[in-house]
Structure 1
Amino acid sequence: MDSSTAGRALAMVMADPRGAQALAVDLLATAKREADPAGEVTALRALGLAARELQDAATAAHQLRLSVAVARRAGLAELAAESRMSLALVLDDLGRPRSAVREIDLALTALRGLPLARARMQQGILLRRLGREADALRAYSTALASFRRHGDLLWQARVLTNRGVLQAYRGGLSQARADLLRAQELYRELGLTSAVAQVEHNLGFVSAQGGDLVSALDWYDRADEHFRRSGSRPAVALIDRAELLLAARLLGEARQAAQDAVQAATDAQLGSLVPQAKLLLAQSALAAGDQAAAHEAAGQARRAFQRQQRERWAVHARYLELRSAASQDRASLRKVAAALENSGWAEQALEARLFLASCGDQAALAGLAAPPAKAGLARLRIRAWHGRALSLVHLGDPAGAKRALDAGLRLLDQYRAALGATELRVLSSGEGADLAALGIRLALADHRPRQVLAWAERWRAATLRLRPARSPDDPELTRDLAQLRRVGAELTGQDGDPVRRHRLLRRQRALEEAIRRRTWRTGAAMSTMDKAIPLERVIASLGDRALVELVEEQGHLIALVAVAGRVHLRQLATAAATTAEVAALRFALRRLVSRYGSAASQAAADAAARHGLRLLDEWLLAPVRPLIGDRELVIVPTGALQALPWSALPSCAGRPITVAPSATVWWQAATSDRHHKPVPHTGKRRTVLVAAQEPPCAVPEVQALAALLTHDASLVGTQATVQATLTAMDGAHRAHIAAHGAFRADNPLFSYLSLADGPMTVHHFTSLRRMPELVVLSACDTGLSTVYPGDELMGLSATLLGAGTRTLVASTGPVEDTATQTLMVQLHRHLDAGTAPSHSLALARSAADPDSWATAHSFTCFGAGTA
């Protein structure tokens, strides 16, 4: 058999592994028939390498062993060495590093010239996985020089890819990027699209190592599109994706990616990658609070790493095993913290010391005293500032500790602002939880209410203080949103065929996931956060109002009351008690509004709701009643209290109430144009009225408002499409939308209003150039938000306020149709008379039918309370 024919099968492996496999089968048969041992060796090697590309490591090892055996029997020493070189990689994939090193050492003794350089590169891969990074780098550089002398473009690209990944691990990101971009060029010249996708994934890895989440997601998604089309998502790519998602605090997605990686590595019998995937699974489970699952996965990973003599990785797994144990062994954690540092796991070493420091470990506190590095991953430097603050508190320097905390939070502000997607910004606030909590504790220890308020505001709802990132100009995103709208419309009208409904729901979930992934890649609107607003200006702007800001501190609620230029502090109830009571109240109100059950059942629901309101009033407002008097209130809730109908509390009867995510957000909305608005005011204060076809009262409600108000656009029934509504709203002063609303607790950024052609989601609102200053959403649950650390909010209300709406009137629960129509007419009547929205809503509630009190109080004024 012609050697060039046999070599063709090897050359095809990366570009077309299945084609190479088919060709090699034919070549093997021919070689056996012609008694051609060299052809047989090459065909078996091609079969082994093709099996490796197709994620079948066990078959690959079998074919390559046969190749070595045939070559040895025939005395073909160089061909045997080349097959050993390939076998070494597969054995390492299978988690057998000692056998892999033995094979590569045997190969090196028999090779010369270009084949020797190839073996050197393979040796570098093994050395890197064993933690011998400097030796691996030398092996790569030596091999690259040889490939360049011989003009071997394919192996140049391979070694550049491997060296680039190693450089990224060692922190040489610019060198890594240069190597990978050159490899990408070479693979494109060679027409190897699969290899190009692998390099693009590695470019994402480099971005992730540098802390650039947006760029990393972009590169990963590019590569993943190819992997999905080819029907095989490599386990290593899933591991890297899980690590990035974990860094972005997308915990559910990170855990799923880690589980997928475990499955992919197990299916392909990639013994070296299975424990790495389980390590990521342990990390994501621990971050999500599932200690039992984390402990099990970490233990499995540690035992596998030890069997493979990968001690550096075993140290990491041991740390996770200790952290997720039912009881903490501090002595072992101290030892493992030192081992992590020595093994190059800087982030995990810092985490271990922070955990020990939080337990009062003095040795750990001393180890955290040094100022953080000026460069490196932002999240690592943020945690380092927390460690320094803890150390300074221990050393009796609270002022220095506060400076360290402020530096950490400033760094978090910059990190958050560099992200464009609202979801990533919101989740990133979790990085500042420990810093803000320590700042509040220090201010409490000083008995300085004003400082407690300042620390609470420093972290709270910070995403809403950023200039919003608009939806990217992405045709595919636009297409996916349109498809999602059509699927939503079909689901609304589909109630007879369960099979079709299931298919539509699956399509809906797939589209939502695609949209989320695209929006994660949104570029930031600006590089830094707006300067912090001095608290004195916020307090001075209150005028005759009283601010009541609630803070949770170690399980207890604290009220910070700003009134007449002073700030007071009052202790309230436990957070657990109020959370449980709010849940019970909301259940009773839902029963009451739905009119479900007998008259006796309705009376019981009414009594339960009123009892819950009295109890919450005593817990939350009674302690501050002497301070607030009968003033208008600006309330900044925390946690579950975001969903409380505050106006229904007895202390708030008839009182104008505005609920805001933070005092700073209230100030920005109430006193200034918060964000750059490309569309200039025309001087005309436009009013837009929109009514969907459902609920039945929507059209009559808007018709009644149209007869009452001077308006510029009225979209009713089939006219009320998503695009027509958005076009009319853009730049308007006031917008009223009557429609069915739904809050998606599982996915708050897909909360929506049902319009004529389907759901109008949060993502649609972000396309507006200029939000209306006042928005009224006459629909159920539109004022609800999911609450994340830092009292960061996601949902329709948070999106509208973040995008520039000054005041939003929306509901925090279900509402009755007829009662809502009456309330809305009264609200707009007062608004048209020039009354502020918070006062207009209070007056409309006072005129409501007493039997419909639950609906009247479900509507809340969010944001500024003015327009």
Structure 2
Amino acid sequence: MERACREGALEALLEEARTLTSRDAGEALQCAEFACQVAERLGDPRMRSAATRARGQALRALSQHAAAVDALEAAAQLAAEAGDARLAAESRIGIVDSLGWLERFTEAFALAERLERELLDLGAPAEAAKVLVNAGNIHHRQDEYARALDCITRALDCLQKADDPYAVAKVQANRANILTHMNRVQEAMELYEEARAAFEERGDALSSAIVDLNVGFLRYISGEHSASLAVFARARKTFDRLGRKVEAAKVDGDMGDVYRALNLLPEALECYDRAIDTFREIPLEYETARAEIGRAVVLAGFGKTDEATAALSRADAVFAAQRNRLQRAHVALIRAHVLRTAGKLGPASRAAASAARELKRAGLHGWAAEALYIQAEIDLSQNRDAVATMEAVIEAAREHLRSSLESRAHHALGRYHHRAGRIEEAIREFRAGVACLEQARTLVTIEEFHVAFLRDKLAVYEDLVAALLGRGLRNDVIEALDCVERSKSRLLLERVQSAHDARLRAGAVADPDLVERLANLRAELCRHYHGMHVFDGAEQLQRRLGITVGDAGRLRELENEYRNALREAELSIAGDRQRTSTLGDVVPIEDLQAALADDEALVEYASFFGQVCAFVVTRRDVQVRLNIAQIEEVDYSARRLRYHLQRVEGQSGYVARHQEELHTAIRGVLGDLYRLLLAPIESLFPSDKLVVVPHGVVHGLPLHAAMDGDAYALDRWEIIYSPGAAVWYQGVEPSQPSGLAARDGLITDPALLVSVQTPGIELVSEEVARLAAVFPNAVVLKDENATLEAFHRHAPNSRIIHLATHALFRADNPLFSGLSFADGWLLAHDLYDVSLSCELATLSACRTGVALVEPGDELFGLIRGFLSAGARSLAVSMWPAADAATVAVMVRFYEYLAAGMSRGSALRQAQIAARTEFPHPYHWAAFSIVGAR
């Protein structure tokens, strides 16, 4: 009876160990160790074999492969002692895989060949299939794809006789992985989907995560970077939970590749370093070398060419010792890239040619095209004819879904033709390059990733614009304007266009732990912001809260944690919705013209190749003026303007004593702005209304305050601003309801008026009190009643929102810019989750109109947040105007609105009126309308 109980306990322990191996390998090992003790007491060699085998499998799961080999061999010896040849052979199956990880390849393949033969002779084809899968995986890790596929195909043949769909699914997942590397993408994806469904049904989290690892790679090589990272993040979370260090490190290496493709080099380096640390600890030379290759590219991107070269040399030495020709070709490809970046054209070309030959021989035509591109681009840049080679690159890139490579190849051909004076051919290639880049952009759906991805790719838009304007036909001008619009603020445009469409808004985060973590980080951030800006001292707040707040170092850590959590949330959403984005739809020129009034012109600036040009669009015509200013000149004037504005922010006594001098100095700078940006095109303006669309260095310049002699531009034109022509159009198109309900000097629309009084803006309470007289249906929130909860409750139902609170612009992290409320901060990023339907949002505090201009002319700051939330227009300030002047401008602004004026006209008249009392532009010119007039 006692023996039967022990045997039953042993069987239960073995079953528990088998179950835990794929879920918690550490627990599985403890269970197996206990089983070994029980089996030792029973003395039966077959039972001892089973327990020792369970121990070996747990060691494999923990990547302790040397110990696993010893344990599994001991299990096989015990099975042989019991006279069970089949059990002995089955016990050695895992040894094949562990020998591969130990890079003892010759032993692994010899054992696999022997075991396959033995198991087939013993009538165990399903077990023989496992051997073949292990051998195939080793060939795969050595990049011997044809041999790997042969092993997997033979394994499937072995399983034909067995009615085991789960086993077939595992082998098909391996087959899909190999097909991925052989560029048989569609076949691979279908097999992955079938396999993952089988694993989900079986509750096999480990196999599901391995499929995710491979699907993530497939998405990556298909250019679907956001979807790739979403799948990788899911896989890594599972591997961490299961204690699978090697697989988690492999995810890190692959995520590093994706971040590198997105130009997010710090994130890529962090991933590679983490992967390399794990691989060296085990150690795994091959995997370490693979990660070193990616790390070398990042180091080259940081300008550390010597370190990059050293990393490549280390990787090449490993692959040379392993006689891995394919990975040596990979090293040569990356070396060519590093050398090209360093300007060493001859060595780069030779390395690229060597890589291309080997990659082509291996059947990896997509990667071979990457190498050929480097070689051909170098030749073309030296005006050597490599058109045929580059056209072959384009064909291969198209076939293997490499839109970014296809765009670069067209761009290189376009530049080659343009230098040779073949304008038609150049324009054709530039157009194709833009089209391919647009396709590649749709696959990068997360905003942060998209902006980084564009960082080194916008030149193709600039080259097309320059070529079209150089030819100068009327249709060329229209196409050039369309191209400028395609290159700028497309992500903001997409947000604006989807602001009122619930189907297009971001989904909710499903993971409750992540939701809680975001909420906790958000709350702690608010406490620290409050501590940094509290006016009765951070020490006072610290005594009340009992924790340290306001520490700049801790604040930076918190912001990084919060940003990473937001990224994790976006990735989790990206994994559950469509993998592509449409980008914002650029407006056809005829629709844009139809939306303009007869007395209105849209002025769109474009900065490229060191110059600023300007398009002027009216209802009847589209014209352009080239090279109206040099970018350096405009940038210099912008810096001088900031300097003179800061002088007025100084001590009031100094300002009073030097008022005339300060006024004269800034008028000179404003005169330069007029000379550079308005004088060359003013003859094209039809009348007195302008929509100004800045670009690059022109952003943030108060053109309404530019001076022509003694007159400000404001005196001649009613000027509003917009981040893009299509963004402006979205607010004025006929399908959008517009206008305010003004009657008898009152505005009867629902309004939300908020003031939070702090030092420096003591008059905000008076400001809101005076405005309340104009809004009979307003909700007024002052000081302690101006909470975030109250804002979120009332804002969605308000047609006008007026926020008179302290504002903070963060140039280093503009989506962390915010507005201070009684109980915390409303951050720009928070507004992505707010739905507004307001005609006008006024942010009267300091610098609410300042934005950071990122690649693609994307503006990040509070303007982006409110436009994305659904505000049709904004009244914002570009610098901190004096408190009394702000009240004067704001009160008159709303009085003119109540009299029936448009927003643009009301602000213009309010500023003109304020100049009588506050003549210096610092006081009245800070304010502008962004969006609909």
- Place the TM-score, normalised by the shorter chain, in its bin: 0.7 to 0.9
* 1:571 corresponding residue in structure 2: 627
Structure 2 residue 424 is matched with structure 1 residue 399 = yes
Whether the aligned pair in 2 keeps the contact of 1:128 and 1:136 (CA below 8 Å) is yes
CA, structure 1 residues 545+94, in 2 after alignment: closer, same or farther (shift >3 Å)?
farther
* 2:434 corresponding residue in structure 1: 409
Q: Which of 925, 928, 931 is the matching residue for 1:857?
A: 925
Q: Which of 333, 346, 351 is the matching residue for 1:319?
A: 333
Shift of 1:824: 1.6
Shift of 1:238: 1.6
Structure 2 residue 724 is matched with structure 1 residue 706 = no
Q: Which of 168, 174, 183 is the matching residue for 1:162?
A: 174
Q: Per-residue CA shift, 1:468-519, capped at 9, x if unaligned? A: 3423244658756654553243224432358455667645543332223323
Map 1:537-556 onto structure 2 (within 5 A): 537-538=591-592, 541=596, 543-556=598-611
CA, structure 1 residues 184+409, in 2 after alignment: closer, same or farther (shift >3 Å)?
same
Whether the aligned pair in 1 keeps the contact of 2:60 and 2:68 (CA below 8 Å) is no
* 1:654 corresponding residue in structure 2: 714
Q: Per-residue CA shift, 1:95-154, capped at 9, x if unaligned? A: 565665455456556554344322211111111122222321231132234346455677
Map 1:707-856 onto structure 2 (within 5 A): 707-730=773-796, 732-846=798-912, 847-848=914-915, 849-850=917-918, 853-856=921-924
**Counterparts of 1:795 and 1:599, CA distance in 2:** 30
SS of residue in 2 equivalent to 1:568: strand
Map 1:369-408 onto structure 2 (within 5 A): 369=391, 372=395, 373=398, 376-386=401-411, 389=414, 398-399=423-424, 401-408=426-433
Q: After alignment, is 164-173 or 426-435 more displaced?
A: 426-435
* 1:275 corresponding residue in structure 2: 289
Q: Which of 472, 478, 494 is the matching residue for 2:507?
A: 472
SS of residue in 1 equivalent to 2:699: helix
CA, structure 1 residues 858+321, in 2 after alignment: closer, same or farther (shift >3 Å)?
farther
Structure 2 residue 40 is matched with structure 1 residue 15 = no
**Structure possessing the higher radius of gyration over alpha carbons:** 2
CA, structure 1 residues 691+612, in 2 after alignment: closer, same or farther (shift >3 Å)?
same
CA, structure 1 residues 225+813, in 2 after alignment: closer, same or farther (shift >3 Å)?
farther
Whether the aligned pair in 2 keeps the contact of 1:590 and 1:813 (CA below 8 Å) is no
Map 1:321-720 onto structure 2 (within 5 A): 321-325=335-339, 326-330=342-346, 331-336=349-354, 338-339=356-357, 340-343=359-362, 344=364, 345-346=367-368, 348-349=370-371, 351-352=373-374, 355-356=377-378, 359-360=381-382, 362-369=384-391, 372=395, 373=398, 376-386=401-411, 389=414, 398-399=423-424, 401-410=426-435, 412-413=437-438, 416=441, 421-427=446-452, 429=454, 433-448=458-473, 450-451=477-478, 452-466=480-494, 467-468=497-498, 469-474=504-509, 476=512, 482-494=519-531, 495-496=538-539, 497=542, 499=548, 506-520=557-571, 521=573, 523=577, 528=582, 532-538=586-592, 541=596, 543-562=598-617, 565-576=621-632, 578-579=634-635, 582-583=638-639, 585-586=641-642, 589-590=645-646, 592-593=648-649, 595=651, 613=670, 615-624=672-681, 631-651=688-708, 652-655=712-715, 656-673=718-735, 685-692=749-756, 694=758, 696-720=762-786
SS of residue in 2 equivalent to 1:318: helix
**Counterparts of 2:864 and 2:12, CA distance in 1:** 65
Q: Per-residue CA shift, 1:317-348, capped at 9, x if unaligned? A: 32222322333224325514633555521563
* 2:743 corresponding residue in structure 1: none
SS of residue in 2 equivalent to 1:161: helix
What is the TM-score of this pair, normalised by structure 1? Answer: 0.85
**Counterparts of 1:290 and 1:800, CA distance in 2:** 41
Whether the aligned pair in 2 keeps the contact of 1:675 and 1:804 (CA below 8 Å) is no
CA, structure 1 residues 243+517, in 2 after alignment: closer, same or farther (shift >3 Å)?
same
Shift of 1:397: 5.7
**Counterparts of 1:675 and 1:428, CA distance in 2:** 36
Structure 2 residue 280 is matched with structure 1 residue 266 = yes
Whether the aligned pair in 2 keeps the contact of 1:10 and 1:20 (CA below 8 Å) is yes
**Counterparts of 1:610 and 1:271, CA distance in 2:** 67
Alignment root-mean-square deviation, CA: 4.3
Q: Which of 75, 84, 89 is the matching residue for 2:97?
A: 89
- Code of the aligned partner of 1:751: S
Map 1:140-151 onto structure 2 (within 5 A): 140-147=152-159, 149-150=161-162
**Counterparts of 1:790 and 1:134, CA distance in 2:** 43
Whether the aligned pair in 1 keeps the contact of 2:847 and 2:879 (CA below 8 Å) is yes
**Counterparts of 1:815 and 1:130, CA distance in 2:** 66
Aligned pairs, number: 856
CA, structure 1 residues 69+688, in 2 after alignment: closer, same or farther (shift >3 Å)?
closer
Q: After alignment, is 96-105 or 638-647 more displaced?
A: 96-105
Structure 1, unaligned runs of 5 or more: 677-682
**Counterparts of 1:509 and 1:755, CA distance in 2:** 23
**Counterparts of 1:553 and 1:101, CA distance in 2:** 59
**Counterparts of 1:575 and 1:94, CA distance in 2:** 58
**Counterparts of 2:388 and 2:653, CA distance in 1:** 64
SS of residue in 2 equivalent to 1:510: helix
Q: After alignment, is 27-36 or 83-92 more displaced?
A: 27-36
Whether the aligned pair in 2 keeps the contact of 1:693 and 1:756 (CA below 8 Å) is no
* 1:309 corresponding residue in structure 2: 323
Whether the aligned pair in 2 keeps the contact of 1:731 and 1:769 (CA below 8 Å) is no
* 2:535 corresponding residue in structure 1: none
Whether the aligned pair in 1 keeps the contact of 2:22 and 2:242 (CA below 8 Å) is no
* 2:742 corresponding residue in structure 1: none
SS of residue in 1 equivalent to 2:285: coil
Structure 2, unaligned runs of 5 or more: 1-5, 499-503, 532-537, 739-746
Over the matched positions of the two proteins, sequence identity in percent amounts to 27
- Code of the aligned partner of 2:523: R
CA, structure 1 residues 442+63, in 2 after alignment: closer, same or farther (shift >3 Å)?
same
What is the TM-score of this pair, normalised by structure 2? Answer: 0.79
**Counterparts of 2:644 and 2:283, CA distance in 1:** 54
**Counterparts of 2:372 and 2:875, CA distance in 1:** 45
**Counterparts of 1:429 and 1:602, CA distance in 2:** 46
Whether the aligned pair in 1 keeps the contact of 2:749 and 2:777 (CA below 8 Å) is no
Map 1:200-219 onto structure 2 (within 5 A): 200-219=212-231
Structure 2 residue 66 is matched with structure 1 residue 61 = yes
Whether the aligned pair in 2 keeps the contact of 1:89 and 1:100 (CA below 8 Å) is yes
